[in-house]
Structure 1
Amino acid sequence: MSQKNKKTYQKRPAREEERETTLYEGRNAVMELLRAGRTVDKLFVAPDQNGRMADIIALAKKSGAVVTQVDRRKLDAMSETGVHQGVIAQAAAHEYVSIDDILQVARDRGEQPLILVCDGLTDPHNLGAVIRSAETAGAHGVVIPKRRSVGLTATAAKASAGAIEHIGVARVTNLAAAIDELKENGVWVFGADAGGDKQLYEADFAGAAAIVIGSEGNGLSRIVHDKCDFIVSIPMKGKVNSLNASAAAAVLLYEAVRQRLGEERHG
């Protein structure tokens, strides 16, 4: 994606319950956190034998973070993901954006909105992978519900490989109402379900589109399913008849990318 697709989100102030310190673990996650200009309170690093932490340490010090060298066993004890790669940053919890913020990003880029909606993902690894796919596909934002869904935890941040710092995530009280808000703004809503009435290759993702991915076990909830304008399926040719949520999201998002690139070539 071109540089015009990059945007710094103007994030609303976090409510009191969101102003919690969280841990960002692993070289990619910490580096992207620092590159995004987020305030890092402390950086904990294990002794660096190969110089792989030099850039991270330099950037952290430049940003004013307190850098502390600690034994790897301390990092093991601190780690929430179990895969810290010798570095953990302590920073304010990730702040959520609004749906209007996401739509504004699309307007600023001069593009039709492309939004990913997650209907009840409970695995932070899946959410992080979904966010990573959405960011790399040039989507303008991700929408998740507050209830029966994982939020932007340290594990989700780690699984996103730093993408969480470059794409806005809206956390909404009522997912059905959020879908209505998208529709009111001219966005067509496509739900992914094995029983879809058309395959994803027959769907038109070139216009303003929101793609809805269901939960790991139950798929789309009934009310969200009924709110979608279209239900699309991914063709399955093997003996296993489903993909996990993050893989399904990537397939659908990149079909949207393919269609939009075609529109650009013929526009």
Structure 2
Amino acid sequence: MSVENQNQEEMIAGKHPVLEALRSGREINKIWIADGAQKTLTQPIVAEAKKLGIVVQFVDKRKLDSMVEGVAHQGVVAQAAAFDYVEVEELLEIASKSGETPFILVLDEIEDPHNLGSILRTAECTGVHGVIIPKRRSASLTATVLKTSAGAAEHVPVARVTNLAQTIDKLKEAGVWVAGTDVSASQDVYKMKFDMPLAVVIGNESKGMGRLIKEKCDFLVKLPMLGRLNSLNASVAAGVLMYEVVRQRRDV
């Protein structure tokens, strides 16, 4: 998980996030490991760090607690260069180079870092080519997000944009269809076809999509609600939608 500090560096906490950061080629400055931490937990990290020439220091656990306050670090913390966000155009290039139909997630003001981390984890598992988040009123790639994503954030490109509505216009100009998720939509997600270049918009946890973003979508879809509640947790809804896209594309 990463916490950005004033020097534009991040603290990554936890075995899997640190190991994935190392394996992904992320620029790591230093790694701290708590005295007495389980060797089975830390040995792969120490070996990888040694291979890459990264300094590893063994310290009191309390030092790690203060470095990433409130984050379950498992006795491992790394200092990395600030997270490298990408441009929206790069997400489309990734799909093009892979020879795959573009599949992008657009997150409209997802505020809970645990939701963002969970969404990134599922996005990595379902082959999403990239995730777009707004700079304002949105969770960013913090330590909690990286920890919740179990290292997936190191492998899913994330674009951070100033204007989400304009970004959607750019996607549409590039031939990408934009599907919004809304409980009031008339179309059931299981009756739609998702075999086209696609961007799926997931709205804010409490308010859903903003009015302008909703108007920018080519079509709106909803998940069927058969119980007494009328909505799902944002990360759960996103996961269901991502796997429905995967299911349809595998059947083509």
Task: Give the alignment's TM-score, normalised by structure 1.
Answer: 0.89
Aligned to 1:42: 30
Q: Work out which of the residue numbers 217, 220, 239 in structure 2 matches 1:250.
A: 239
- AA aligned opposite 2:16: N
| Aligned Cα root-mean-square deviation (Å) | 1.4
The yes-or-no answer on 1:27 pairing with 2:51 is no
Aligned to 2:96: 107
2: CA distance, partners of 1:93 / 1:226: 34
Aligned to 2:105: 116
On the 8 A contact 1:80/1:154 being kept in 2, the answer is: no
On the 8 A contact 1:81/1:154 being kept in 2, the answer is: no
Deviations 1:58-99 (A, max 9, x none): 111221221010111221122244200110111011111011
1: CA distance, partners of 2:119 / 2:39: 32
Q: Work out which of the residue numbers 211, 218, 222 in structure 2 matches 1:229.
A: 218
- AA aligned opposite 1:36: S
On the 8 A contact 1:25/1:81 being kept in 2, the answer is: no
Give the share of equivalent positions with the same residue, in percent. Answer: 52
Unaligned residue ranges in structure 2 (runs of 5+): none
- AA aligned opposite 1:256: V
Shift >4 Å, 4+ stretches: none
Deviations 1:121-171 (A, max 9, x none): 111111111111111100100000111112111111111111111111010
- AA aligned opposite 2:31: L
Range 19-28 or range 136-145, more displaced: 19-28
Aligned to 1:56: 45
- AA aligned opposite 2:14: G
- How many residues are paired up? 247
Task: Give the alignment's TM-score, normalised by structure 2.
Answer: 0.95
1: CA distance, partners of 2:68 / 2:54: 19
